[in-house]
Structure 1
Amino acid sequence: MRLSLLAAAALGVAAVPVAARADETCNSPYMSGLIKGQEDYLYVWTLGVKGMGDGFDKMVTMDVNPASKKFGQVIAQVSVGKRGEAHHMGFSDDRRFLWAGGLDDSKIYVFDVHTDPARPKLVKTIDDFARRSGYVGPHTFYALPGRMLIGALSNDKDRGGVTGMAVYNSKGDFIAKHDMPTTNGGDGYGYDVAINPGKNAMLTSSFTGAVNYMTDLGKLIKDPAAMKQFGNTMVMWNLKSMQPEKVLSVPGAPLEIRWSLKEGDDWAITATALTSKIWLVKKDAGGAWQAREVATIGDPAKVPLPVDLSITADGKGLWVNTFMDGTTHYFDISNPEAPKETYSKRTGSQVNMVSQSWDGKRLYISSSLLANWDKKGAEDEQFVKLFAWDGKELKESFKVDFAKLKLGRAHHMKFGAAPGRSSADAGQGAVRVAGR
């Protein structure tokens, strides 16, 4: 059964899937077809590198089931025929398709990952994103019932940070746009999108525009004017009306947003890239949403650059990757008001995305941030690594060298399952009363 967003709002319910035992903890709550048990495949949205293989952006599929003879190997790749700064992707609400975008050319690619999960197929290219919305840099792909909400990073006028969100239907047709607020403290910047249906709450964060993210990082850091062009806000939206309700001051470019998945929790967490802080977004005693700094990640003076987060399914733990020092940190957030770092490990010369299985036993890490921000020379590692986590230590299970295989720069990751292994295959998507 599937409800439209308007019907869900009218009935006071949300299309929220039953909790899974393996799928990632950062997916949209409207996504059905979650993986049950061990994931079989890892999809890696990969940036093309001129002179490396075909040089184009591509979807790379890895076999990650330990029971397979091809465990830890690349088993398929689909090139899109150009380089557009491949970055993030997200599943459709039925989990049958992966939408992936390019930050530079603003093209959106839709891959069928259901017909043959081991070999995704490019079935649609959407090239009207900038023309229809006025935004560029499609970044976050967040499933709504029958639709895809796409958060952008920039605009097609000055390629600065003022931007917004676009809504497409499942067929790939543009429906609507929603500008980020520029009044009442809003800076208009955008980055991530995360929804808590039970609280009718949609939270967005902010980064920087195309002029900055397409500039070499070394040059960018030396430009004082450019360094002032980063977002310093988060916005709490009314989900049903798609209207901003409150702008929260969160200086330092707040990036990924993670709502606690624990039943009854009503808080979210983020990290600021430039100031290396963890921030908590939670209602105060009066019922008003507030944001406040609750912890420090590494040594902010060294600008470790926290880039990705993964919250545990029970809402008690948080993984944070810091790009510059190549470190993966674990925070105990059983008290979200006072997170404590209890473990850290250098997992590469540079690390970016971190994807955690629902059971918390497996951690996948990729290396690339942005083509012009990755390190140079020997430190420009390009890999996907799998680590096993026993609650005390991360132990490397495999490393796949994307540069050696001439695939490109490994960025965003999503899990896949063999036919019959997910509730999408079994027709077990669920609708239940909203609430966490």
Structure 2
Amino acid sequence: MRPTSRAALALMTFAVAASMHPARADETCNSPYLSNLIKGQEDYLYVWTLGVPGMGDGSDKLVTVDVNPRSKQFGKVIAQLPVGGRGEAHHAGFTDDRRFLWAGGLDDSKIHVFDIHTDPAKPKLVKTITDLPARSGYVGPHTFYALPGRMLVGALSNTKDHGGVTGMALYNNKGEYITKYPLPTSMGGDGYGYDIAINPAKNAMLTSSFTGHTNYMMDLGTLIKNKTAMGNFGNTMVLWNLKAMKPEKVFKVPGAPLEIRWSQHEGDGWAVTATALTSKLWLVKKDAQGQWQAREVATIGDPAKTPLPVDLSLSADGKGLWVNTFMDGTTHHFDLSNPEAPKEDYAKHTGSQVNMLSQSWDGKRLYVSSSLLANWDKKGADNEQFVKLYAWDGKELKEVFQLDFAKLGLGRPHHMKFGAAASQRVAAARE
């Protein structure tokens, strides 16, 4: 069989398996194919951090924070692992066995593979993959989405013109390239990429769209003033047939739809996204005729002020959604009891700039990080660089601790993932 055929067969087989055994742990944004899941209190927070010239060693690094309240080191950095250089550290994702964390650089297109299983408190860098541009023609590895024995890597750009037309590359868990899947430029598609989210029970994969290397490496103030550059943002989402790994439908979703979140609640079959430039929530769901549709369902903040929604976290029951808006530093909560008509019921200013957020499965803890992109972060006093933990009681976010990554000489904290001590993994495996 050709590599593409083998990949499609594996996806088809495990799509059925995952639909029978839905994930019930970790963050709701993780791939449904993860095993060795965290089912209780997370022990560690892995923070993929951008290096800053003159700050500490100046390198991108994986920072490990102890987040178990029973630990004597609670709220402290217990390990940092530089990768040797600055490549615009951005997103990371676990392999399906949850033993390794893949993390990418949007500028140098390197993919660093960390062993977070042997000693979860002290990850090890075991491999750096450098062949993405040469093998696929794509640059800017952004989303790392676990498949059975494989990793689907969603890119943001290409080697030809550093624009937004791109695709996804498939690797095996050893880091060996298998094949690629271009994002459609036909069917009304713009070919742009960003996030990946799979619902095996619906045989559905969704992808969203952002912008290319030329834009995301440009100073934000310069970018906003450049009308041509501002026209080079994605305005589509794509529905894929998961088993066939082929695009079936392109949705028009104006304003750069970013993170995609499928509801994990049993019986739900819908997903949400937020558009960065137009500040809207969109719902992807089948209509009364059984056809997939995407439509705008809510507004986030004041779109006239361009709050710039960046990250989403959907509760495990599908009834609550957290949204961070970067420009005004606000963390919003929406009641999604009726996903057709979300209502904002809480908001808190959590920093001068806020970007990523990670919610525990039980919904009681919310982690917030500050950095978006090195050239998009704010200047001067507003250039806060932190990780904060908040407790959520259903009514109010209360700060538990914060780490100033600038004062600690670590850099700009971006993507966060949970880790568990070996004892917890064993307990989870027995359940």
TM-score, normalised to structure 2's length?
0.96
The C-alpha deviation readout for 1:344-394, integer Å capped at 9, x for no partner, is: 000000000000000000000000000000000000000000000000000
**1:333-352 correspondence runs (5 A):** 333-352=336-355
Q: Give the letter for the 1:243 counterpart.
A: K
**1:309-328 correspondence runs (5 A):** 309-328=312-331
Inter-CA distance 19–202: structure 2 relative to 1 (3 Å threshold):
closer
- The structure with the greater share of residues assigned to helix is 2
Query: What is the CA RMSD across the aligned residues, in angstroms?
Result: 1.5
1:396 pairs, out of 385, 396, 399, with 399
Shift of 1:184: 1.3
Shift of 1:19: 4.2
Q: How far apart, CA to CA, are the structure 2 residues paired with 1:357 and 1:111?
A: 22
> Any conservation in 1 of the 2:8–2:245 contact (CA below 8 Å)?
no
Query: What does residue 150 of structure 2 align with?
Result: 147
Query: What does residue 265 of structure 1 align with?
Result: 268
Query: What does residue 130 of structure 1 align with?
Result: 133
2:203 pairs, out of 188, 200, 219, with 200
Inter-CA distance 50–427: structure 2 relative to 1 (3 Å threshold):
same
Query: What does residue 232 of structure 2 align with?
Result: 229
1:44 corresponds to 2:47: yes
1:254 corresponds to 2:271: no
Q: How far apart, CA to CA, are the structure 2 residues paired with 1:66 and 1:254?
A: 36
Query: What does residue 334 of structure 2 align with?
Result: 331
> Any conservation in 2 of the 1:8–1:15 contact (CA below 8 Å)?
no
Q: How far apart, CA to CA, are the structure 1 residues paired with 2:325 and 2:14?
A: 42
Q: Provide the secondary structure at the position in 1 that maps to 2:423.
A: coil
Per chain length, whose mean CA-contact separation is higher, i.e. which structure has more relative contact order (CA < 8 Å, sep 6+)?
1
Shift of 1:235: 0.1
> Any conservation in 1 of the 2:238–2:247 contact (CA below 8 Å)?
yes
The C-alpha deviation readout for 1:69-126, integer Å capped at 9, x for no partner, is: 1000000000000000000000000000000000000000000000000000000000
Q: Provide the secondary structure at the position in 2 that maps to 1:301.
A: helix
**1:18-417 correspondence runs (5 A):** 19-21=23-25, 23-417=26-420
Shift of 1:20: 3.5
> Any conservation in 2 of the 1:267–1:280 contact (CA below 8 Å)?
yes
> Any conservation in 2 of the 1:5–1:144 contact (CA below 8 Å)?
no
Name stretches of at least 5 consecutive residues in structure 2 with no aligned partner.
1-5
Shift of 1:9: 1.8
Q: How far apart, CA to CA, are the structure 2 residues paired with 1:345 and 1:77?
A: 30
Inter-CA distance 4–283: structure 2 relative to 1 (3 Å threshold):
same
Q: Provide the secondary structure at the position in 1 that maps to 2:417.
A: strand
Residues matched between the structures, number: 425
The C-alpha deviation readout for 1:13-44, integer Å capped at 9, x for no partner, is: 223655435x2111000001111210000000
Shift of 1:420: 2.1
Q: How far apart, CA to CA, are the structure 2 residues paired with 1:422 and 1:174?
A: 29
Q: How far apart, CA to CA, are the structure 2 residues paired with 1:209 and 1:184?
A: 21
Q: Provide the secondary structure at the position in 2 that maps to 1:420.
A: helix
TM-score, normalised to structure 1's length?
0.95
Shift of 1:5: 6.2
> Any conservation in 1 of the 2:255–2:275 contact (CA below 8 Å)?
yes
> Any conservation in 1 of the 2:15–2:201 contact (CA below 8 Å)?
no
Q: Provide the secondary structure at the position in 2 that maps to 1:190.
A: coil
| Fraction of identical pairs, as percent | 77
The C-alpha deviation readout for 1:287-311, integer Å capped at 9, x for no partner, is: 1111000000000000000000000
